[in-house]
Structure 1
Amino acid sequence: MESKEFAQAVREERDSLLSSFANPSGGTVVAAHLLAAGLSPSQRKEVLAAMDAALTDAFYTLLLALDGSASLGGKQQHFIVSDDSGDVIANGDGRLEAAAWEAFHENSS
């Protein structure tokens, strides 16, 4: 798996989580909390927009931290991430950072 594929897979996971959180019958704890809050449609829309932004920031920052361009737990270093075949996904050379930007910002839907 290449950095681009990895970043896109992370983006798809973020999108899937947001979708399950937004679905009142999705079976997630987050969906149950949103339903229990009794929000108006406009309030629900705003809460989901905030969750969308928070998930994007969290997943994007984690990818940058793996590549060494952001801190993780207050420490900044790069990590070597590889798949089962030994293909390097991240090693601090900026490939994952660039792929993350593309997946989360250039191709945002």
Structure 2
Amino acid sequence: MGAKEFAAACREERDTLLSSFADVSGGTAVAAHLATANLTESQRKQVFAAIDAVLTDTFYTLLLALDGAAALGGKQHSFVLTDGNGDTIANGDGRLEAAAWDAFHSDS
């Protein structure tokens, strides 16, 4: 798995989380909280827009931090991240940063 595949898998996980939060029968704590909040449809849309942005920012920042392009816990380092086959996903060379941008911010 390379940087592009890893970033795409993170995007897929973000999308899955967002969907599970919207599903009142999904069993997530977020869905349960939202179900008991008695939000109007307009409020619900606003809350989910905020959750969408939070998930995007969080995943994107973590991916950048792994590649050394952002701080993690106030410390900025690059990390070497490999898959089970020893293939490099991140090593501070910017590949994961670029892949994260494509996965989370491109229009494609």
With structure 1 as the length reference, what TM-score do the two structures score? 0.97
How does 1:26-105 map onto structure 2 within 5 Å? 26-105=26-105
Poorly superposed stretches of 4+, deviation over 3 Å: none
Per-residue CA deviations over 1:16-67 (Å, capped at 9, x if unaligned) read 0000001111110000000000000100000000000000000000000000
Letter of the 1:78 counterpart: S
Identity of aligned residues (%): 71
For structure 1, the residue ranges without an aligned partner over 5 or more in a row are none
Per-residue CA deviations over 1:51-106 (Å, capped at 9, x if unaligned) read 00000000000000000000000000000000010000000000000000000001
For structure 2, the residue ranges without an aligned partner over 5 or more in a row are none
For residues 45 and 23 of structure 2, the distance between their equivalents in structure 1, rounded to whole angstroms, comes to: 12
For residues 22 and 67 of structure 2, the distance between their equivalents in structure 1, rounded to whole angstroms, comes to: 30
With structure 2 as the length reference, what TM-score do the two structures score? 0.98
Query: 1:107 offset after TM fit, Å?
Result: 4.2
The residue number in structure 1 matching 2:7 is: 7
RMSD: 0.8
How many residues are treated as equivalent by the alignment? 108
For residues 99 and 44 of structure 1, the distance between their equivalents in structure 2, rounded to whole angstroms, comes to: 31
Letter of the 1:102 counterpart: D
SS in 2 for 1:89: strand
Letter of the 2:55 counterpart: L
For residues 107 and 68 of structure 2, the distance between their equivalents in structure 1, rounded to whole angstroms, comes to: 22
